[in-house]
Amino acid sequence: MAVWFISGCSSGFGDQIARQALARGDKVVATARNAAKLSELKKLGALTLSLDITSPDDVIQKVAKEAIDAYGSIDYLINNAGYILEAAVEEASDAEIRAQFSTNVFGHAAVIRAVLPYMRAVKKGVVANLGSIAGWHSDAGYGYYSASKMALVGITEALCQEEAHLGIQAVMIDPGYFRTNFLGSDAKIQSKNIIDDLRPAMDPVRDMLVKVNRNQPGDPVKGAAVIIEALTLTGRASGKKLPLRLALGSDAVKVIADVQARQAKELKEWADIVKTTDHED
């Protein structure tokens, strides 16, 4: 029986992973900024705790210890909390940019630091950071959100190498568009400043997201099932090795393949020139 520690459980993937882990007979520590919003998960048997991942380290460490005091260990850490800052690069204020990184990067790093000592003590565990296809490429209006996900890739890749000899794995999960409320008002914040000169680039993005919201191709129930199978290496994932980056959704597979093809083409096109920079000795 495994123990799952999950942030951002009030909706979306956090909620679904918690429900399905409980249905497996596992223990779940479900967190959200306000634990009162997790009443359904509590009825299903989850330990529900309030956790704002932008809190000081000692507050986050206290919540992690509550989980350990309750269940003795944490086998799977799911860093799921986060939001999108919708803004052109020039439009966003310093405060808005810092807030985006405070949640999407620094908050996850703080939770990782709070949980890892317990995983190291038993020499096992999996850290799963929820990324996005935005961590593979950036679009107009989402540069800072993409940057936050790209930063999390670097942390995940380093963590994977640093803790592997201790039996701890790390993975970045990159969903495409799933039919959650992530594009809704709770998880998407628009910058206060809007620059009229940038409307030709920004208005199509805003219009597209209005049309996409609640019409995304991905089913979060099916997505959560794949995540659980992948992290536990059971079911359809039996016999596989957990990858550094796990794409999620048919659209994610296509977008990532297109990005990799473009990058390979550009690298090949410029290789003969850029390789001439080496010393000749």
* Catalytic pick among 118, 142, 145, 177: 145
Q: Per residue, what are the HEC states of the chain?
A: CCEEEECCCCCHHHHHHHHHHHHCCCEEEEEECCHHHHHHHHHCCCEEEECCCCCCHHHHHHHHHHHHHHHCCCCEEEECCCCEEEECCCCCCHHHHHHHHHHHHHHHHHHHHHHHHHHHHHCCEEEEEECCHHHCCCCCCEHHHHHHHHHHHHHHHHHHHHHHHHCEEEEEEEECCECCCCCCCCCEEECCCCCHHHHHHHHHHHHHHHHHCCCCCECHHHHHHHHHHHHHCCHHHCCCCCCCEEEECHHHHHHHHHHHHHHHHHHHHHHHHHHHHCCCC
71 catalytic, yes or no? no
**Cα distances (angstroms) measured from residue 142 to each of 85, 106, 133, 154, 245:** 7, 18, 12, 19, 21
Sign of CA dihedral 36, 49, 112, 122: negative
Q: Known catalytic residues?
A: 145
